[in-house]
A and B are shown apart, each in its own frame.
Chain A
Amino acid sequence: MPIHFSNLHKRFGDKHVLRGVDIEVRDGECFFVIGASGVGKSVLIKHLVGLLRPDSGDIYLDGSEVSRLSEKAFYPVRMRCAMVFQHSTLFDSMSCAENVALPLRMHKQLSLEKAMIEAERRLDQVHMLEFAKAFPAELGDGMRKRVAIARALTLDPRYVLFDEPTTSLDPISARRVDKLIFELSRELGVTSIVVSHDLTSIFSIADRIAMLYQGHVRMLGTQDDFRSTVDPIVRQFITGQAEGPMEV
């Protein structure tokens, strides 16, 4: 398995967020991590790229344990494994093209000129070339998200982590982002881990789904497994019922 979280534990003060999470992600799949807000979905994926360190447990990427690497040693990991943040997190002082060029300049030490040419090519892939010189503040949420995806793809990563990619997007923009994630997986063979509670996304593009609940993996399976489950907690979540056994 290219990605393996093994018995992962993480505390923030008194809050024990992850309590022994075990997940394996297969090559080229579109893997969704779902669960209620605050359950630790984003925390989980941030461990993979060293933005957070586990209290205990191991994380394997392509067979190598990565959780104890130094910050500098994580740079090659972050070249292979890109991340699209929940709020796009484009740098306001830079144009869209400069935002997309930044990883090329920092990771690959490309000149500004070469990095900008590549950035424009990436922006074209997400249909944002005409906004290359625009600043993030001039764009809507959906367009900012597409620029953020272009920035994540600029280093040709094998793995892309999406943190709630459709949150705050209108339905049309959300489905465009879903399509982009699906195409990445099917056409380029990119492995995607998507943190989401957007049920439409989950039941349209997910290959497999893991549901986190109270720090553990409550259920792991395909879309069909989730649709046919009798677990009352999982059922409450995927049907969006306000009343039920689930503690939030």
Chain B
Amino acid sequence: MSTHTNIELQARPLGLGARMVAPFGALGRDLASLYDVLKQCVHHLMRGHLDRKATVEQAYAIGNGSMLFVTVTMTVIGMITVVQSGVQTQRVIPELSLLGANIIQIMVREFAPTVCAMMLATRVGAGIAAEIGSMVVTEQVDALRMCAADPVEYLVVPRFVSSIVMTTALAFWSLFASLVAGTLAANMVFDLNYSTFVNFNLVTVGDFIVCLLKAMFYGAAIPVVSAQRGLTTFGGSEGVGWATTNAVVHSSLAVIVLDLFLSVFGYLVFPPV
């Protein structure tokens, strides 16, 4: 975790929750400022403070800009998963009629939202941290504050909203892309009929709810973690580099940690068939 001094967040008195965890060293300070950024995002949204134009622009940058990247990744992962799973299944039983059903379930519950979010954590997280970090070191964030513009409201909230929406949309797009690629791979490698592979018998509404929840939580975590890294940038262009690297690492870590908790939640509330 970074030990850089956070000029922007340092200047704002932390809330009660933030002050309670602040004493636990650098990790505590990072968690406190993450909580502070998240709290402020929710606070502004509850008061309807949302720049719609900026949100649409960010949605385009996050969603449309990531489309090709996510599609290629999920297509390859879909194909490889089907081939690997098919080969391993055949070692036990020569019957592959349930291959599609099982793979679709794991894609819905796990791979589509999580792998998609990991991809977005690298591309979107780095972009947010670099952009906000550059604004911090060139004093543009200070200039915003001098104009009575709250940097979190102005810079983070549009990214927060658009990331939630576009991560969710891209997660379902990822599911579709991996499913199409997997179906083609199953047909080409194992000679499975399309109708045999595309089998939703094991997928329940609960699986889709888990997918939706994961995508939304990941979509919220990536901009909050990355923006917090950007706002804590200190020390010129080298600082922006560190902030960007940290944003990618910590956003990916946030996705993995959230995956653990949301998977446990999913297995308890919506157990797989």
Contact = CB atoms under 8 A, between A and B. Distances in A.
A102 B3 CA distance: 33
Interface string A69-93: 0110001001100110111010100
B10 A85 contact: no
B149 to A, nearest CB: 5
B11 A71 contact: yes
Given A75-B148, A106-B147, A89 B12 contact: no
A87 B149 contact: no
A48 B150 CA distance: 18
A12 B5 contact: yes
Contacts of A75: 148
Given A89-B140, A91-B140, A83 B11 contact: no
Interface residues of B, number: 18
A82 B12 CA distance: 19
B41 to A, nearest CB: 16
Contacts of B145: 50-51, 71, 78
Contacts of B138: 87, 89
A199 B139 CA distance: 25
Interface residues of A, number: 24
Contacts of B150: 71
Nearest to B151: A71
Given A87-B139, A89-B139, A53 B149 contact: no
* Residue among B5, B11, B13 facing the most chain A CB atoms (10 A cut-off): B11
A51 B7 contact: yes
A185 to B, nearest CB: 20
Contacts of B3: 13
Max chain B Cβ within 10 angstroms of own Cβ: one of A51, A52, A102, A103: A51
Nearest to A152: B146
A50 B139 CA distance: 14
Q: Which of B3, B138, B140, B143 has most chain A Cβ within 10 Å?
A: B143
B142 A51 contact: yes
Q: Provide the main secondary structure of the chain B interface.
A: loop
Contact of B12 (A71, A85, A91): A71
A85 B149 CA distance: 16
Contact of B147 (A12, A70, A107): A107
B11 A82 contact: no
B13 A85 contact: no
A30 interface: no
A18 B28 CA distance: 27
Contacts of B146: 49, 51, 78, 82-83, 103
Interface string B3-21: 1010100111100000000
B109 to A, nearest CB: 40
Contacts of A86: 139
Given A13-B5, A52-B7, A71-B11, A102 B147 contact: yes
Interface in B141-187: 142-143, 145-150
Contacts, number: 56
Interface in A81-128: 82-83, 85-87, 89, 91, 102-103, 106-107
A106 B149 contact: yes
A12 B4 CA distance: 9
Given A75-B148, A103-B148, A52 B139 contact: no
A46 interface: yes
B62 to A, nearest CB: 17
A82 B143 CA distance: 10
Nearest to A161: B146
Interface in B1-52: 3, 5, 7, 10-13
A50 B10 CA distance: 10
B11 A103 contact: no
Contacts of A51: 7, 11, 142, 145-146
24 contacts: A50-B11, A50-B145, A51-B7, A51-B11, A51-B146, A52-B7, A52-B10, A53-B11, A70-B12, A71-B150, A75-B148, A78-B148, A79-B148, A83-B142, A85-B139, A85-B143, A87-B138, A89-B138, A89-B140, A89-B142, A91-B140, A103-B146, A103-B148, A106-B149
Interface of A: 12-13, 46, 49-53, 70-71, 75, 78-79, 82-83, 85-87, 89, 91, 102-103, 106-107
List of 7 A-B pairs having minimum Cβ-Cβ separation, nearest first: A89-B143, A106-B148, A103-B147, A85-B139, A107-B148, A75-B148, A89-B139
Interface of B: 3, 5, 7, 10-13, 138-140, 142-143, 145-150
Given A71-B11, A102-B147, 18 more contacts: A12-B5, A13-B3, A46-B142, A53-B11, A70-B13, A71-B12, A71-B150, A78-B146, A78-B148, A79-B148, A83-B142, A85-B142, A85-B143, A89-B138, A89-B140, A91-B143, A103-B146, A103-B147
